[in-house]
Amino acid sequence: MNDRSRRTLNPEKRPPPWQAVVTGGSAGSMEALEAILTRLPAAFPLPVLCVQHMHPSGTDFLARHLDDRCRLAIREACDKEPVRPGHVYMAPPDYHLLVERDETLALSVDEKVNYSRPSIDVLFESAAQVWGSRLVAVVLSGSNHDGAAGARCIREGGGLVVAQDPETAEQPAMPRAAMQAADSEVVLSPDRIADLLLEISGMGEGDGDMPTALREEDGHG
């Protein structure tokens, strides 16, 4: 199936430089996340912050698994750790992951949000406060609506929201909820999400400011 770009941009106003990527997923999303991260080179210049729903008693297996297979440095996030370009930070099991104003990470054991800790909404909303219109959010497969409110917050702040195409998702409810909440911005398969991240970082085809998928939607392709 063809990927779909549904965002409408003002052709007179180019998007700002992108500063960070946040991702969220639940059931069925690990394969999609791996497909994206394995495509990114070691020199990828943006930090990537990830929330994956998992059992509270889980281990750091996912971070270690991805680190073994990816060229980027991937690790579980630590409290008060500075966010560094070209690094991937995974929320530890049973901790919310947030970004502070000084671009350091924070871990929290506050109440669950959307029955989840870590919660995608918690990460997305805190990141939106820090990076605003320079933030890219990616919502992957999952069976509930966590991430939808955060996606709306990012969209309202001028950031970019990308949803996994529900037809490629094992559980389509989560990306569909994000699409609806964020006014159906960009809907892509995992491989095309990787292509878009390369474009916005200036490492792929296109000019780095306006990704090809968005430029073509606005008639600038």
Is residue 119 pLDDT above 50, yes or no? Answer: yes
Q: What is the dihedral of CA 49, 81, 133, 219, to 10 degrees?
A: -40
92 pLDDT more than 60: yes
Q: How far apart are CA 196 and CA 143, in angstroms?
A: 24
Mean pLDDT, range 115-133, rounded to an integer: 97
Q: Name the strand (E) or helix (H) holding 191.
A: helix 190-200
pLDDT given for residue 7 in this prediction: 45
**How much is the average pLDDT of 179-207?**
87
| pLDDT above 70 (res 23) | yes
- Whether 67 and 39 have beta carbons less than 8 Å apart is answered as no
pLDDT tens digits, one per residue of 30-89:
999 999 999 999 999 999 999 999 888 888 899 999 999 999 999 999 999 999 999 999
Nearest of 25, 64, 72 to residue 47 by alpha carbon: 72
Alpha-carbon torsion angle 196, 202, 205, 209, nearest 10 = 70
Rounded-to-integer distance, Cα 193 and Cα 157, Å: 21
- β-pair type (96-99, 105-108): antiparallel
- 15: closest CA among 221, 213, 208? 208
Q: Across all residues in the chain, what is the average pLDDT?
A: 88
In 64-118, the DSSP E strands lie at: 73-76, 87-90, 96-99, 105-108
Q: Which of the two residues, 23 and 215, has the higher pLDDT score? A: 23
Q: What is the mean pLDDT of residues 82-107?
A: 97
Q: Choose between 12 and 129: higher pLDDT.
A: 129
Map out the domains of the chain with their CATH numbers. Answer: 17-217 (3.40.50.180)
Catalytic residues: 26, 53, 146
Distinct helix (H) and strand (E) counts, the chain: 7, 10
Percentage of the chain exceeding pLDDT 90: 77
Cα-Cα-Cα-Cα torsion 137, 54, 149, 193, nearest 10 degrees, comes to 20
* Low-confidence winner among 153-167, 175-189, 200-214 (lowest mean pLDDT): 200-214
Whether residue 12 is predicted with pLDDT greater than 50 in this model: the reply is: no
Q: In the predicted model, is pLDDT for residue 139 greater than 90?
A: yes
Query: What's the pLDDT at 59?
Result: 83
Q: What average pLDDT score do residues 146-161 get?
A: 96
